[in-house]
Amino acid sequence: MQDLECGLQKAYAIAPYESIGIDTWGVDYGMLDENGALLENPRHYRNSRSAGYAEKFCAQMSAETLYQRTGTQIIDINTLFQLMSQRDQEGFSHCKKLLPMPDLLAYLLTGTVSAERSIASTTQMLSAQTGTWDLELLKAAQIPADLLPEIVESGTRNGVLTDDVQKRLSLPPIAVTAVCGHDTQCAALAAPVKTDKHIFLNCGTWSLFGTESDTPILTPQAAALGLSNEIGYEKKVTFLKNIIGLWLIQETQRELQRCGQMYRFSEIEELAVHSQSTPCAIDPDDPRFTPPGDIPGHIQSYCRETDQPVPETIGAIFRCIYESLAMKYRSALEEVEACTGETYPVIHLVGGGAKDRLLCQLTADYCQRPVIARPAEATVYGNAAIQLMAIGAMHSAEEARHCIAASETMKTYTPEKFPEMWYRMLQAIRKQER
């Protein structure tokens, strides 16, 4: 919180502003006591405490029913399962209210207690039918419903900086707007699309690959494929696949740094481009790649287990990650198209991955669709656009997207020959599943 306040103060000294919007990652939360004080620091979803809780819950309520109720991919890190772990390990005796991360930060600035809809849709506790907290689901999980705050829409004014914050930071009573609290939804709004039929790929630590829909898709097929229905601006449904993304690059970079080897992202891309090793592939969503640690070692063990060439050089390891992510995007494209019955002519790749030429070209090659890359800071654009619409300076998502597109130089990657590695990946995954 100290860093956030420092940033707000420095930004105002450079260019005074009238509104603040906060977006973060999904699923994590903070707990307030009866006096409104934070009980403890929030715990990150990569903490293993909720491991196995999805399976435990689905033993009492079927996975099919849970998906029908929430439309959310069933995965241990979701808030529902984190709270079940909290229930069993520490309980809720001192907790009076739970707030998702962006709403927690807004509360610490304004004192307003609420949950913005897009971030609420990541919890696996929001009803896909009613758009309200699913009280029957909460009862089945033995989570007190009164812990959850009122849900507000994206674009709602969330109060102003408290007197204490104003005094401490020497700031005026600046408004805080509940933008799409889930960063993915800010990025989806900023994708400079021109047609209703499109795929957006928000490529950062996670890769979120999907499309927009007016209504949730709750079919058994969608459930079996692990697709999620999340809520964006103006209650637009984003039907998407959650994929481990540049986390694999970032954590490999950190592991090498721990070993005394320093590589910038530009150097990583060049190493992968010039790798001469025999190609190999992993399933990025294999559970071994989720926790922090020795990602290069895990990649090598995965390749051994699936009878593939084992990448020995740093360049080969990074090349394996790039190829595997692009192949996973191809798989996600096929799944989304199978569930929607649509064919999508173009992929809009936004987020940090839009700066990576190798990843963009491989995505175009594997998906056999043009990839339009940029903006890299899509989340920031989307956040700002919602604030501008909230104060009437912009009037629609369409206008916002047009403005964002005009502010960026887009790069189009045309698909080339379909890579043979696709078939090797399929064989590797099948061997791993056996």
Question: Known catalytic residues?
Answer: 183
Phi, psi of 356 (to 5 degrees): -100, 105
Phi, psi of 162 (to 5 degrees): -65, 165
Residue 24 DSSP class? B
Instruction: Please say whether the beta carbons of 299 and 321 come within 8 A.
Output: yes
Burial degree of 37 (CB within 10 A; 0-12, 13-18, 19+): exposed
The answer for 114, left when phi > 0, alpha when psi is -120 to 50, beta otherwise, is beta
**Euclidean distance between CA atoms 395 and 10, whole angstroms:** 30
Alpha-carbon dihedral angle through residues 165, 167, 171, 176, given to the nearest 10 degrees: 20
* Separation in Å, CA 366 to CA 206, 243, 333, 389: 19, 16, 10, 37
Q: In sequence order, what are the residues at sequence separation of 6 or more whose Cβ sits closer than 8 angstroms to the Cβ of residue 135?
A: 145
Rg of the chain, C-alpha, whole Å:
22
User: Token pair for residue 254?
Assistant: 């950190």
CB atoms within 10 A of CB 85: 19
Q: State which amino acid sits at residue 432.
A: Q
3-state secondary structure (DSSP) of residue 95:
coil
**Euclidean distance between CA atoms 88 and 127, whole angstroms:** 24
User: Token pair for residue 95?
Assistant: 């907790």
- First and final CA of the chain: distance in angstroms? 47
Chain CA centroid to CA 249, Å:
16
Residue 133 DSSP class? B
Instruction: Please say whether the beta carbons of 128 and 70 come within 8 A.
Output: yes
* Separation in Å, CA 403 to CA 180, 385, 407: 19, 9, 6
